[in-house]
Structure 1
């Protein structure tokens, strides 16, 4: 980190459906056979071929300086093996092409749930303190090629974040 760069700490709240609502949904287990309702993930995957896969991430830590969004689909992420993890988010804003610095929030996500990011939600993560975590990921098959818009806070604000 250079002398002119700032490290800003973000206090990560435990995620709930209420405190995550402006960014997407948090989904917990429900009884088998329950009818579809507001507690289920409301997906937007009509702009391509859905891709559901498991990604293994190593030694991510809790610091970041880049944040990304996808404007063609929702995205679902969840950890395997019950491992807790962190995600920083900023609400979608189609008026401007960058996240609003003052609206970035951090969440701690328990390993017995998953999140669905609303179309256009800025997100940094998943991050964690474990050696590695396997995550399932549902997005479009070409999301990381044609629908991956990233903002770098070091370039724009000489700023890095740490979720605590």
Structure 2
């Protein structure tokens, strides 16, 4: 990171279905045999081949200055082994090509649920203080090649963020 920027603290609140609704869904466990309902993830994976995999992330910390979005699919993320983690998000205004800084929010996500990001939701993370965390990730097979749009807050606002 460049020396010519400010690090702003971003308070992470515990995620709930209500406070995360602008960005996507929070999916908690349901009973075996329960039918499809409004608490299930509403997926958009129609623009390619779905990819469901486990990604191992190392030493992520809690600081970021770049945020990304995907315009062709929803994305689901959840940690394995019950580890809590952090994610910063900005609403998916698909008619503009940058996140709205004033609407940046951070969430602490418990290890007993996963999140589904709406198409176009800006996101930075997952972040955590563990040595490593394995995450399951559902997106398209080419999401990180053809559908990966990143905004750099240091370049645009001389800002980096630390989730606390």
Q: Give the TM-score category using the shorter length.
A: over 0.9
1:2 CA displacement: 4.8
> What is residue 89 of structure 1 aligned with on the other side?
89
Partners of 1:99 and 1:2 in 2: CA distance: 21
CA shift digits 1:35-90 (9 cap, x unpaired)? 10110000000000000000000000000000000000000000000000000000
5+ residue gaps, structure 1:
none
Partners of 2:3 and 2:125 in 1: CA distance: 25
Partners of 2:102 and 2:114 in 1: CA distance: 25
Q: Which has the higher strand share?
A: 1
Tell me whether 1:146 sits opposite 2:146 in the alignment. Answer: yes
> What is residue 22 of structure 1 aligned with on the other side?
22
1:58-69 paired onto structure 2 within 5 Å? 58-69=58-69
> What is residue 134 of structure 2 aligned with on the other side?
134
- What SS does the aligned partner of 2:61 have? coil
| TM-score normalised according to structure 2 size | 0.98
1:96 CA displacement: 1.1
1:15-54 paired onto structure 2 within 5 Å? 15-54=15-54
Partners of 2:68 and 2:2 in 1: CA distance: 23
Partners of 2:139 and 2:149 in 1: CA distance: 14
**Which structure 1 residue ranges, 4+ long, deviate > 4 Å from structure 2?**
none
1:4 CA displacement: 3.3
Question: How many residues of Structure 1 are paired with residues of Structure 2 in the alignment?
Answer: 164
> What is residue 116 of structure 1 aligned with on the other side?
116
Say what the alpha-carbon RMSD is for the aligned residues.
Answer: 0.8
Partners of 2:50 and 2:2 in 1: CA distance: 41
5+ residue gaps, structure 2:
none
- What SS does the aligned partner of 1:82 have? coil
